[in-house]
Amino acid sequence: MVHVQKRIIEPDRGDWAIEARGLVKNFGDNRAVDGVNLNVRAGTIYGVLGLEWSR
């Protein structure tokens, strides 16, 4: 029998999991996102929804 130690690592709530500055997204000639700044902390869930983003 093999004994395996398990260790749960909790994120530091002060750390950024995602950090974006001046984000731009174009679809052809259509600019969907223009200059967005976004920070998401580690261990959180964040969603962005908009018109027709379900495609």
Mind listing the pLDDT tens digit of every residue in the chain (55 residues)? 666 777 776 666 678 888 999 999 898 998 988 999 999 888 888 887 777 655 5
User: Contact 10/43 with Cβ under 8 angstroms?
Assistant: yes
What is the DSSP secondary structure assignment for residue 47, as one 8-state letter? -
Tell me the C-alpha distance between 51 and 36, whole Å.
17
Query: Is 4 within 8 Å of 28 (Cβ atoms)?
Result: no
What pLDDT does residue 37 have? 93
pTM over 0.75: no
Tell me the C-alpha distance between 15 and 40, whole Å: 9
Strands (E), the chain: 16-27, 30-41
Q: Domain residues of the chain, as ranges? A: 10-46
Query: Which residue has 């001046």 as its token pair?
Result: 22
For residue 13, the model assigns a pLDDT of: 64
